[in-house]
């Protein structure tokens, strides 16, 4: 059995201090991920001791893993993911900051094998306050 997987990611970020109390952060990341399992072969180890579960057929039983050896491939996954994020940080005082962050994720499922097509857009908007003491 062979199992191959690979992930390639390219990322870039930029920071900008717009004013004394206001800064921005921008980021982008692109990932390509692939995974697949091929040439599946298991050594026979029947849990039924070779006894037939159905005497009318020559089949040796449902627990014999050799019955899965006809599969040429089991799983093939391929995703392209693009992440864009923007963050703004405002210093209210020397000890209190307000941060707002937006994240956009676009997933492009090239091989919808396991759970169906998982392509789609994800939006996230978060805000938090930081206290330093």
- The model carries a pTM of 0.66
With CA atoms as reference, report the closest residue to 108 among 35, 31, 36, 37: 31
pLDDT for the residue numbered 65? 53
- Domain membership of residue 109 (yes or no) is yes
130 band by pLDDT with thresholds 50, 70 and 90: very high
Taken as a whole, the chain contains a residue count of 133
Give the per-residue pLDDT at 63: 47
Reported as a pLDDT band with limits 50, 70 and 90, residue 58 is low
In a domain? residue 65: no
For residues 91 and 58, the answer to whether their CB atoms sit within 8 Å is no
| 50-55: long-range pairs with CB below 8 Å, 24+ | none
How many domains does the chain divide into?
1
- Percent share of the chain, pLDDT over 90: 53
Q: Is the pLDDT of residue 28 over 70?
A: yes
What pLDDT is attached to residue 55? 58
Q: Is residue 113 predicted with pLDDT exceeding 50? A: yes
The overall average pLDDT reported for the chain is: 82
Confirm whether 54 is domain-assigned: no
Say if CB 34 and CB 49 are below 8 A apart.
no
Domain that holds residue 122: 1-35+73-133
68 lies in a domain? Answer: no
Residue 53 falls inside a structural domain: no
Q: Which of 43 and 81 is assigned the larger pLDDT?
A: 81
- Per the listing, tokens 């994800």 go with 122
- Strand runs labelled E in the chain: 2-17, 22-38, 73-91, 96-109, 120-131
Could you tell me if 48 and 64 are in contact, meaning their C-beta atoms sit under 8 angstroms apart? yes
pLDDT of residue 47: 54
* 45 inside domain: no
Residue-level pLDDT at 29: 98
């Amino acid at each position: 059995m062979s199992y191959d997987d690979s992930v390639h990611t390219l990322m870039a970020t930029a920071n900008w201090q717009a004013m004394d109390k206001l800064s921005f952060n921008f980021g982008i990341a692109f990932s390509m991920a692939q995974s697949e399992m091929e040439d599946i072969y298991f050594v026979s180890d029947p849990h039924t001791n070779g006894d037939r579960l159905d005497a009318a057929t020559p089949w040796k039983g449902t627990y014999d893993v050799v019955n899965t050896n006809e599969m040429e491939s089991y799983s093939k996954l391929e995703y392209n993911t693009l992440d864009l994020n923007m963050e703004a940080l405002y210093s209210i005082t020397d000890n209190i900051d307000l941060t707002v962050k937006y994240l956009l994720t676009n997933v492009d499922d090239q091989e919808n094998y396991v759970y169906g097509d998982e392509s789609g857009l994800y939006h996230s908007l978060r805000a938090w306050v930081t206290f330093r003491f």
